[in-house]
């Protein structure tokens, strides 16, 4: 993991934190500034999806409930990922949650939250599990934020939830799997994640590697960065961090295969 630490140290401006967890070793293999709180931007939608899945598991709602008054944010890419939904005014709750994550769609997110009782209810719900995660209707609101350690625990809860009760958690995982956002050198089916960002903020959370094997769960957040629209240095370093993390996963995977073949 030293290569990852070296790449992070090259980022001289702003604050950055990274957590990577090996499912094989059942431990964090890297943890830097895990108490850092960062604006989540679109990545906050994962917390919304988590709350909806909890409501499904508890019983008040069902995945086949109909969410009315659906509209799609034209600035996002639902027209590319879900072209067959574009004329729909209602979606199954499970489809709406998937679209919200895969397409970063704030309009769909608002429809889901209103269906489930409103923003205050959802925010209170997330805080019963993760007190340092705060969700706002406007994803660009700087109070739409989360502590990296708790964002990681949320991600891990989703991953474990899917392993133990896939009927409940499939729509959330589907959104992570279908999101676009390729990184050179990483097979697209090995990068199941949710990104978020503002001019001076970058967030990426997800599952790296073979999903049904022993992937690496990761959370990366950075704030107070130079304007990312004008300065690509930080984005390039973050990409290199992800590529290095994939290299670590590949080495781990080879080790597992060698041990199981003996």
In CATH, what number is assigned to the domain containing residue 156?
Answer: 3.40.710.10
pLDDT in the model for residue 245: 95
Q: State pTM to two decimals.
A: 0.94
E strands, 53-183, are 66-67, 91-92, 133-134, 145-147
Domain count, the chain: 1
Which residues are within 8 A (CB) of 159 and not within 5 positions of it... i.e. 6 or more apart? 23, 207, 217
pLDDT in the model for residue 160: 97
Rounded-to-integer distance, Cα 3 and Cα 260, Å: 27
Q: Yes or no: say if 77 and 42 are a contact pair by the CB < 8 Å rule.
A: no
How many other C-beta atoms lie within 10 A of the C-beta of residue 258? Answer: 9
Give the pLDDT of the chain (262 residues) as one tens digit per residue: 788 888 888 888 899 999 999 999 999 999 999 999 999 999 999 999 999 999 999 988 999 999 999 999 999 999 999 999 999 999 999 999 999 999 999 999 999 999 999 999 999 999 999 999 999 999 999 999 999 999 999 999 999 999 999 999 999 999 999 988 889 999 999 999 999 999 999 999 999 999 988 999 999 999 999 999 999 999 999 999 999 999 999 998 888 888 776 6
Range of the domain at 61: 2-261
pLDDT in the model for residue 262: 60
């Amino acid at each position: 993991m030293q290569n990852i630490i070296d790449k992070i140290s090259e980022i001289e401006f702003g604050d950055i934190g990274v957590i990577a967890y090996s499912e094989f070793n059942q431990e964090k293999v890297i943890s830097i500034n895990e108490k850092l709180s960062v604006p989540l931007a679109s990545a906050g939608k994962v917390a919304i999806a988590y709350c909806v899945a909890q409501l499904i598991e508890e019983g008040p709602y069902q995945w086949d409930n109909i969410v009315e008054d659906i509209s799609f944010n034209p600035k996002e890419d639902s027209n590319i990922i879900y072209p067959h939904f574009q004329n729909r005014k209602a979606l199954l709750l499970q489809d709406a949650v998937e679209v919200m994550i895969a397409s970063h769609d704030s309009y769909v997110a608002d429809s889901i939250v209103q269906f489930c009782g409103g923003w205050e209810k959802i925010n209170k719900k997330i805080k019963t599990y993760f007190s340092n995660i705060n969700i706002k209707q406007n994803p660009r609101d700087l109070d739409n934020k989360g502590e990296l350690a708790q964002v990681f625990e949320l991600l891990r809860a989703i991953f474990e939830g899917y392993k133990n009760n896939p009927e409940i958690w499939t729509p959330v995982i589907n959104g992570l799997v279908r999101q676009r956002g390729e990184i050179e050198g990483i097979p697209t089916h090995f990068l199941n994640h949710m990104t978020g960002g503002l001019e001076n903020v970058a967030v990426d959370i997800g599952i790296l590697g073979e999903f049904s094997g022993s992937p690496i769960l990761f959370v990366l957040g950075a704030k107070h960065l130079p304007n990312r629209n004008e300065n690509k240095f930080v984005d390039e370093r973050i990409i290199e961090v992800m590529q290095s993390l994939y290299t670590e996963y590949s080495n781990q995977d080879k080790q597992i295969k060698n041990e199981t073949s003996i």
